[in-house]
Protein backbone atom coordinates (compact mmCIF):
# COMPACT_ATOMS: atom_id res chain seq x y z
CA UNK A 1 0.00 0.00 0.00
CA UNK A 2 1.41 3.38 -1.05
CA UNK A 3 0.78 6.30 1.30
CA UNK A 4 0.52 9.92 0.14
CA UNK A 5 -0.11 12.98 2.27
CA UNK A 6 -3.19 15.01 1.34
CA UNK A 7 -1.09 18.16 1.13
CA UNK A 8 0.27 16.90 -2.22
CA UNK A 9 -3.27 16.58 -3.49
CA UNK A 10 -4.16 20.10 -2.38
CA UNK A 11 -1.05 21.57 -4.03
CA UNK A 12 -1.73 19.72 -7.28
CA UNK A 13 -5.34 20.87 -7.47
CA UNK A 14 -4.40 24.50 -6.73
CA UNK A 15 -1.83 24.47 -9.52
CA UNK A 16 -4.28 22.85 -11.95
CA UNK A 17 -6.91 25.52 -11.25
CA UNK A 18 -4.53 28.22 -12.38
CA UNK A 19 -3.03 26.31 -15.30
CA UNK A 20 -6.38 25.33 -16.81
CA UNK A 21 -7.57 28.92 -16.73
CA UNK A 22 -4.37 30.51 -18.05
CA UNK A 23 -3.31 28.17 -20.86
CA UNK A 24 -5.13 26.59 -23.79
CA UNK A 25 -4.16 23.00 -24.56
CA UNK A 26 -1.99 22.28 -27.60
CA UNK A 27 -4.87 20.33 -29.19
CA UNK A 28 -7.16 23.36 -28.88
CA UNK A 29 -4.55 25.75 -30.29
CA UNK A 30 -4.01 23.41 -33.23
CA UNK A 31 -7.76 23.21 -33.91
CA UNK A 32 -8.11 27.01 -33.78
CA UNK A 33 -5.21 27.44 -36.19
CA UNK A 34 -6.82 24.92 -38.54
CA UNK A 35 -10.07 26.87 -38.28
CA UNK A 36 -8.28 30.10 -39.16
CA UNK A 37 -6.77 28.49 -42.24
CA UNK A 38 -9.95 26.79 -43.48
CA UNK A 39 -12.76 29.14 -42.45
CA UNK A 40 -14.23 30.90 -45.49
CA UNK A 41 -16.27 33.53 -43.65
CA UNK A 42 -14.33 36.80 -43.16
CA UNK A 43 -16.12 37.36 -39.83
CA UNK A 44 -15.32 33.78 -38.81
CA UNK A 45 -11.65 34.22 -39.68
CA UNK A 46 -11.55 37.39 -37.60
CA UNK A 47 -12.98 35.48 -34.65
CA UNK A 48 -10.30 32.79 -34.93
CA UNK A 49 -7.60 35.46 -34.97
CA UNK A 50 -9.05 37.03 -31.83
CA UNK A 51 -9.32 33.68 -30.05
CA UNK A 52 -5.69 32.83 -30.80
CA UNK A 53 -4.52 36.29 -29.74
CA UNK A 54 -6.57 36.03 -26.56
CA UNK A 55 -4.94 32.68 -25.77
CA UNK A 56 -1.48 34.13 -26.40
CA UNK A 57 -2.05 37.09 -24.06
CA UNK A 58 -3.56 34.89 -21.34
CA UNK A 59 -0.63 32.48 -21.40
CA UNK A 60 2.06 35.16 -21.49
CA UNK A 61 0.53 37.34 -18.77
CA UNK A 62 -0.90 34.48 -16.68
CA UNK A 63 -4.44 35.82 -16.70
CA UNK A 64 -7.68 33.93 -17.34
CA UNK A 65 -8.55 32.96 -20.90
CA UNK A 66 -12.15 33.89 -20.05
CA UNK A 67 -13.76 35.90 -17.27
CA UNK A 68 -15.91 32.84 -16.46
CA UNK A 69 -13.39 30.64 -14.69
CA UNK A 70 -16.00 28.00 -14.12
CA UNK A 71 -17.32 25.49 -11.66
CA UNK A 72 -14.42 23.32 -10.45
CA UNK A 73 -15.11 19.79 -11.71
CA UNK A 74 -12.63 16.99 -11.03
CA UNK A 75 -12.52 13.53 -12.55
CA UNK A 76 -10.46 11.36 -10.21
CA UNK A 77 -9.14 7.85 -10.81
CA UNK A 78 -7.72 6.46 -7.57
CA UNK A 79 -5.61 3.31 -7.49
CA UNK A 80 -6.93 0.76 -5.00
CA UNK A 81 -3.42 0.35 -3.58
CA UNK A 82 -3.16 4.05 -2.72
CA UNK A 83 -3.90 5.42 0.74
CA UNK A 84 -4.10 9.13 1.59
CA UNK A 85 -3.01 10.25 5.04
CA UNK A 86 -3.02 13.51 6.97
CA UNK A 87 -6.59 14.60 6.41
CA UNK A 88 -9.86 14.23 4.55
CA UNK A 89 -9.53 13.40 0.83
CA UNK A 90 -12.50 15.48 -0.36
CA UNK A 91 -11.63 18.46 1.82
CA UNK A 92 -8.07 18.37 0.45
CA UNK A 93 -9.52 18.83 -3.05
CA UNK A 94 -11.82 21.64 -1.90
CA UNK A 95 -8.86 23.36 -0.25
CA UNK A 96 -6.88 23.09 -3.48
CA UNK A 97 -9.71 24.78 -5.35
CA UNK A 98 -9.93 27.44 -2.64
CA UNK A 99 -6.21 28.21 -2.86
CA UNK A 100 -6.07 28.04 -6.64
CA UNK A 101 -8.94 30.47 -7.17
CA UNK A 102 -7.89 32.91 -4.46
CA UNK A 103 -4.17 32.95 -5.27
CA UNK A 104 -4.78 32.87 -9.02
CA UNK A 105 -7.20 35.82 -8.93
CA UNK A 106 -9.82 33.68 -10.65
CA UNK A 107 -13.48 34.65 -10.57
CA UNK A 108 -15.50 33.01 -7.81
CA UNK A 109 -18.72 31.86 -9.45
CA UNK A 110 -20.32 29.45 -6.98
CA UNK A 111 -23.34 30.23 -4.78
CA UNK A 112 -24.12 28.28 -1.60
CA UNK A 113 -27.75 27.64 -2.47
CA UNK A 114 -29.45 27.58 -5.90
CA UNK A 115 -32.33 29.82 -4.74
CA UNK A 116 -30.79 32.09 -2.10
CA UNK A 117 -27.71 32.84 -4.25
CA UNK A 118 -25.06 33.81 -1.68
CA UNK A 119 -21.57 33.46 -3.16
CA UNK A 120 -19.22 31.07 -1.32
CA UNK A 121 -16.38 33.50 -1.99
CA UNK A 122 -13.76 30.90 -2.94
CA UNK A 123 -15.34 28.85 -5.78
CA UNK A 124 -15.92 25.85 -3.55
CA UNK A 125 -17.29 23.25 -3.32
CA UNK A 126 -15.86 21.30 -6.23
CA UNK A 127 -17.78 18.57 -8.03
CA UNK A 128 -15.79 15.35 -7.62
CA UNK A 129 -16.27 12.25 -9.78
CA UNK A 130 -14.32 9.40 -8.16
CA UNK A 131 -13.50 6.05 -9.75
CA UNK A 132 -11.46 3.26 -8.12
CA UNK A 133 -8.99 1.62 -10.50
CA UNK A 134 -6.11 -0.89 -10.18
CA UNK A 135 -2.66 0.34 -9.12
CA UNK A 136 -1.22 2.84 -6.63
CA UNK A 137 -1.45 6.11 -8.60
CA UNK A 138 -3.95 8.96 -8.59
CA UNK A 139 -5.05 10.52 -11.88
CA UNK A 140 -6.67 13.95 -11.67
CA UNK A 141 -8.41 15.79 -14.49
CA UNK A 142 -9.51 19.31 -13.60
CA UNK A 143 -12.27 20.93 -15.66
CA UNK A 144 -13.29 24.55 -15.06
CA UNK A 145 -16.80 24.36 -16.55
CA UNK A 146 -18.25 27.71 -17.60
CA UNK A 147 -21.88 28.58 -16.99
CA UNK A 148 -22.65 29.70 -20.53
CA UNK A 149 -21.83 26.40 -22.21
CA UNK A 150 -23.21 24.34 -19.30
CA UNK A 151 -26.57 26.13 -19.60
CA UNK A 152 -26.85 25.02 -23.23
CA UNK A 153 -26.51 21.34 -22.35
CA UNK A 154 -29.45 18.93 -22.31
CA UNK A 155 -30.59 15.40 -21.44
CA UNK A 156 -33.41 13.39 -22.98
CA UNK A 157 -34.78 9.94 -22.29
CA UNK A 158 -35.12 8.69 -25.86
CA UNK A 159 -37.06 5.54 -26.69
CA UNK A 160 -35.05 2.72 -28.28
CA UNK A 161 -37.28 2.80 -31.38
CA UNK A 162 -35.87 6.22 -32.28
CA UNK A 163 -32.45 4.64 -32.81
CA UNK A 164 -29.49 6.45 -34.32
CA UNK A 165 -31.70 8.95 -36.15
CA UNK A 166 -33.33 10.00 -32.90
CA UNK A 167 -29.95 10.60 -31.30
CA UNK A 168 -28.69 12.63 -34.27
CA UNK A 169 -31.84 14.77 -34.25
CA UNK A 170 -31.51 15.40 -30.51
CA UNK A 171 -27.85 16.47 -30.78
CA UNK A 172 -28.55 18.73 -33.77
CA UNK A 173 -31.53 20.37 -32.05
CA UNK A 174 -29.53 20.99 -28.87
CA UNK A 175 -26.61 22.59 -30.70
CA UNK A 176 -28.89 24.66 -32.92
CA UNK A 177 -30.76 25.88 -29.83
CA UNK A 178 -27.47 26.82 -28.19
CA UNK A 179 -26.49 29.01 -31.13
CA UNK A 180 -23.98 31.66 -30.13
CA UNK A 181 -24.70 31.29 -26.40
CA UNK A 182 -22.13 28.49 -25.97
CA UNK A 183 -19.31 30.59 -27.51
CA UNK A 184 -18.68 28.54 -30.65
CA UNK A 185 -16.74 26.98 -32.22
CA UNK A 186 -17.76 24.53 -29.51
CA UNK A 187 -16.74 21.05 -28.45
CA UNK A 188 -19.75 18.76 -28.13
CA UNK A 189 -19.77 15.87 -25.68
CA UNK A 190 -22.46 13.25 -26.22
CA UNK A 191 -23.43 10.63 -23.65
CA UNK A 192 -25.49 7.61 -24.65
CA UNK A 193 -26.89 4.83 -22.48
CA UNK A 194 -26.75 4.06 -18.79
CA UNK A 195 -29.30 5.79 -16.58
CA UNK A 196 -30.44 9.39 -16.16
CA UNK A 197 -27.49 10.36 -13.97
CA UNK A 198 -24.94 8.15 -15.75
CA UNK A 199 -25.62 9.58 -19.20
CA UNK A 200 -24.96 13.17 -18.14
CA UNK A 201 -21.68 12.04 -16.57
CA UNK A 202 -20.74 10.33 -19.85
CA UNK A 203 -21.46 13.48 -21.86
CA UNK A 204 -19.14 15.54 -19.67
CA UNK A 205 -16.47 12.85 -19.62
CA UNK A 206 -16.55 12.80 -23.42
CA UNK A 207 -15.20 16.37 -23.40
CA UNK A 208 -11.96 15.18 -21.81
CA UNK A 209 -10.72 13.21 -24.80
CA UNK A 210 -7.94 14.98 -26.76
CA UNK A 211 -9.60 17.12 -29.38
CA UNK A 212 -10.36 15.21 -32.55
CA UNK A 213 -9.16 11.84 -31.24
CA UNK A 214 -11.74 9.43 -32.68
CA UNK A 215 -13.74 6.95 -30.63
CA UNK A 216 -12.03 3.55 -30.34
CA UNK A 217 -15.14 1.89 -31.83
CA UNK A 218 -15.29 2.56 -35.61
CA UNK A 219 -19.11 2.76 -35.46
CA UNK A 220 -19.05 5.63 -32.96
CA UNK A 221 -16.04 7.23 -34.66
CA UNK A 222 -18.12 7.42 -37.83
CA UNK A 223 -21.09 8.81 -35.92
CA UNK A 224 -18.87 11.51 -34.40
CA UNK A 225 -17.80 12.62 -37.87
CA UNK A 226 -21.39 12.54 -39.13
CA UNK A 227 -22.55 14.72 -36.25
CA UNK A 228 -19.65 17.15 -36.67
CA UNK A 229 -20.45 17.59 -40.36
CA UNK A 230 -24.16 18.14 -39.64
CA UNK A 231 -23.43 20.65 -36.88
CA UNK A 232 -21.01 22.59 -39.06
CA UNK A 233 -23.60 22.74 -41.83
CA UNK A 234 -25.88 24.77 -39.54
CA UNK A 235 -23.82 27.85 -40.45
CA UNK A 236 -23.85 29.25 -36.90
CA UNK A 237 -20.11 29.71 -37.19
CA UNK A 238 -17.49 31.15 -34.83
CA UNK A 239 -19.18 33.18 -32.08
CA UNK A 240 -22.42 32.99 -34.07
CA UNK A 241 -21.20 35.24 -36.91
CA UNK A 242 -21.66 32.55 -39.55
CA UNK A 243 -19.18 30.21 -41.20
CA UNK A 244 -18.03 26.63 -41.56
CA UNK A 245 -16.86 26.03 -37.99
CA UNK A 246 -19.69 25.81 -35.46
CA UNK A 247 -17.95 22.91 -33.66
CA UNK A 248 -14.33 21.84 -33.44
CA UNK A 249 -15.16 18.26 -32.46
CA UNK A 250 -17.90 15.87 -31.35
CA UNK A 251 -16.97 13.15 -28.86
CA UNK A 252 -19.29 10.30 -27.84
CA UNK A 253 -19.16 8.07 -24.76
CA UNK A 254 -21.59 5.12 -24.65
CA UNK A 255 -22.60 2.70 -21.87
CA UNK A 256 -24.97 -0.30 -21.68
CA UNK A 257 -28.59 0.55 -20.97
CA UNK A 258 -31.96 -1.00 -20.12
CA UNK A 259 -33.93 -2.71 -22.91
CA UNK A 260 -36.74 -0.17 -22.45
CA UNK A 261 -34.65 3.00 -22.59
CA UNK A 262 -32.02 4.95 -24.53
CA UNK A 263 -30.87 7.93 -22.44
CA UNK A 264 -28.96 10.63 -24.30
CA UNK A 265 -27.19 13.78 -23.09
CA UNK A 266 -25.31 16.64 -24.69
CA UNK A 267 -22.72 18.59 -22.71
CA UNK A 268 -21.24 21.53 -24.58
CA UNK A 269 -17.90 23.22 -24.04
CA UNK A 270 -16.97 26.61 -25.44
CA UNK A 271 -14.04 26.85 -27.85
CA UNK A 272 -11.52 26.82 -24.97
CA UNK A 273 -12.59 23.35 -23.72
CA UNK A 274 -10.36 23.82 -20.68
CA UNK A 275 -8.95 20.86 -18.75
CA UNK A 276 -5.60 19.73 -17.36
CA UNK A 277 -4.32 16.42 -16.03
CA UNK A 278 -1.96 15.30 -13.25
CA UNK A 279 -0.69 11.96 -11.99
CA UNK A 280 0.29 11.60 -8.32
Q: Is the pLDDT of residue 269 over 90?
A: yes
Nearest to 32 by CA among 215, 247, 250: 247
Check whether 10 has a pLDDT greater than 90. yes
State pTM to two decimals: 0.96
Banded pLDDT at 212 (limits 50, 70, 90) = confident
Q: What is the pLDDT of residue 87?
A: 98
| 209 band by pLDDT with thresholds 50, 70 and 90 | very high
Q: What is the mean pLDDT of residues 186-204?
A: 98
Asked whether residue 121 carries a pLDDT value surpassing 90, the answer given is yes
Q: Whole-angstrom Cα distance, residue 254 to residue 135?
A: 25
Q: What is the pLDDT of residues 25-57, one digit of tens each?
A: 999 999 999 999 999 999 999 999 999 999 999
For the chain, the average pLDDT equals 97
Using one digit for the tens of pLDDT, what is the confidence trace for 163-193? 999 999 999 999 999 999 999 999 999 999 9
Each residue's pLDDT tens digit, 62-100? 999 999 999 999 999 999 999 999 999 999 999 999 999
Is 266's pLDDT higher than 90? yes
Other C-beta atoms within 10 Å of 260: how many?
7
pLDDT on residue 181: 96
What is the pLDDT confidence band of residue 137, given thresholds at 50, 70 and 90? very high
Q: What average pLDDT score do residues 147-154 get?
A: 96
Q: What is the pLDDT of residue 229?
A: 98
Residues near 1 by beta carbon (within 8 Å), at least 6 away in sequence: 81, 82, 83, 136
So what's the pLDDT on residue 52? 98
Amino acid sequence: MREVHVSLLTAAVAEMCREANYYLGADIISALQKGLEEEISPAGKAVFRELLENARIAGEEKIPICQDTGFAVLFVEMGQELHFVGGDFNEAIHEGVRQGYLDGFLRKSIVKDPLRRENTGDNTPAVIHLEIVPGDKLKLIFVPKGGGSENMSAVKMLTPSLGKEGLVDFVEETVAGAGASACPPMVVGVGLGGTLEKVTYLAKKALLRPLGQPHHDPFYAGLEMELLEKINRTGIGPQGFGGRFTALAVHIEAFPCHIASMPAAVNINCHASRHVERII
